[in-house]
Amino acid sequence: MKILSLNVRGFGVEGKFRWVKGLCSSEKPNVVVLQETKVHYIDEGWVQSLWGGNNCGFVQIEAEGNSGGLLTIWDSSSFVANSAVGNRYFIAFRGTWLGSGVESAIVNIYGPHNDKCKIEMWGALDNLLSSVDSAWVLCGDFNEVRSHSERLNCVFNQSRASRFNDFIERNSLVEIPINGKRFTRISDDGTKFSKLDRFLVNDNFIKQWDDLSVVAIDRRESDHCPIILRDKAIDFGPKPFKIFDEWFSKDGIDKIISDAWEKDVRGYRKDCRFRDKLKNVKLELKEWSKSEFGGIDNEINAVKDEVSKWESKAESGSLSDNDRERWLDTRRKWIAKEKSKANMLR
């Protein structure tokens, strides 16, 4: 089980669609919940392109004007949805996890900013959770914090935080702690930090899944980090070996393959010898690819590590204006290198 949540901050910006599509491809979540899509209508073809295949279902709440918008996508080979309800603040859908037969309800939330609408949302969610006995998971951008420690250089409102905590308590929800980052939203200028994104689950959900954990990953194209809820890691064996078209534009790759194929392998069974020949080709191409294309990955990793160091320092509130500009410049370099690599691979 793997659920990815992200406030995408509008699909209209160049690179957002490609970034989210890449997350779907690399993380392979069973469910994706997106907030602030800023899209009025999404059709099946658009969703399938984002998901990377047609084995998916989806529900959406359209944006109002140039704000809001919710989209939930699920892998139809692992989850079967049977009902959905929602309003401008959330989409809730119920279904069954295939294989385990576990019934679950997943709520994609994009919390409002003003007090009146917040109270309205908590009340609607109270009614929803009390109406159905299920394994609940609530996720998304709640636009609210639970304590003073979840904000830095931002105004903290105790009464709003208290209402949020009261909502969690009266519905017997539990927050799964986030590993990797203290805050999930950082302002564009790198001065304000908040933990607005989270996963809340009830006891029925906890009983069904072992070793639940949440991790926050890099917020490359948004001011929010994608966060991922998953159960214990399962080893499905080695990852498949992929070949990129770009490789065949390089001189000498045919000789790399033929020399690797001609290496002697031992064994009585023909299928095992064939397997070992493929392994030889895989290993040789892997080493060759590192020497030919490994440079850009090393550059990306170096810049990415530098960004992480700046963000860690920023979270402590110790950045000068000059340091902040260096941090933001490093982020721009990282995004530029990622786009350069994506263009090459495409």
Task: Report residue 35 as tokens.
Answer: 């907030």
Same domain for 88 and 167, yes or no, is yes
Give the confidence band of 287 by pLDDT, cuts at 50, 70, 90.
confident
Tell me if 202 is assigned to some domain. yes
Q: What pLDDT, on the 0 to 100 scale, is given for residue 235?
A: 45
Same domain for 50 and 96, yes or no, is yes
Same domain for 45 and 8, yes or no, is yes
Same domain for 61 and 201, yes or no, is yes
Same domain for 253 and 164, yes or no, is no
Task: Report residue 182 as tokens.
Answer: 């203290």
CA distance 114 to 120: 10
CB neighbourhood size of 341 (10 A): 15
Question: Is the model's pLDDT at 237 over the cut of 60?
Answer: no
Q: What pLDDT, on the 0 to 100 scale, is given for residue 314?
A: 79
Task: Report residue 243 as tokens.
Answer: 């070949």
What is the dihedral angle through the alpha carbons of 274, 277, 279, 284, rounded to the nearest 10 degrees?
Answer: -160
How many domains are contained in the chain?
A: 2
Q: What pLDDT, on the 0 to 100 scale, is given for residue 161?
A: 94
Least confident of 61-65, 230-234, 280-284: 230-234
Tell me if 339 is assigned to some domain. yes
pLDDT in tens, 73-112: 999 989 888 888 988 899 999 999 887 788 899 999 999 9
Least confident of 38-52, 105-119, 309-323: 309-323
Three-state SS for 251?
coil
Q: Is the pTM of this model over 0.75?
A: no
Task: Locate the DSSP E strands across 114-271.
Answer: 135-141, 151-152, 173-175, 178-179, 185-186, 193-194, 197-202, 213-216, 227-230
Tell me if 237 is assigned to some domain. no
Same domain for 297 and 160, yes or no, is no
Same domain for 190 and 277, yes or no, is no
Tell me if 238 is assigned to some domain. no
Average of per-residue pLDDT across 199-221: 87
Average of per-residue pLDDT across 179-183: 83
Q: What pLDDT, on the 0 to 100 scale, is given for residue 328?
A: 84
- Give the type of residue at 60: Q
Tell me if 236 is assigned to some domain. no
- Among the candidates 230, 256, 279, a domain finishes at 230
- Give the type of residue at 255: K
Same domain for 219 and 81, yes or no, is yes
CB 220 within 8 A of CB 19: yes
The mean pLDDT value of the chain amounts to 87
Least confident of 11-20, 47-56, 243-252, 298-307: 243-252
Alpha carbon 123 to its chain centroid, in Å, reads 28
Q: What pLDDT, on the 0 to 100 scale, is given for residue 294?
A: 67
Same domain for 76 and 160, yes or no, is yes
CA distance 103 to 338: 39
CA distance 336 to 314: 22
Higher pLDDT, 264 or 244: 264
Domain boundaries, position 258: 245-345
Same domain for 55 and 195, yes or no, is yes
Percentage, residues of the chain above pLDDT 70: 93
CB 267 within 8 A of CB 37: no
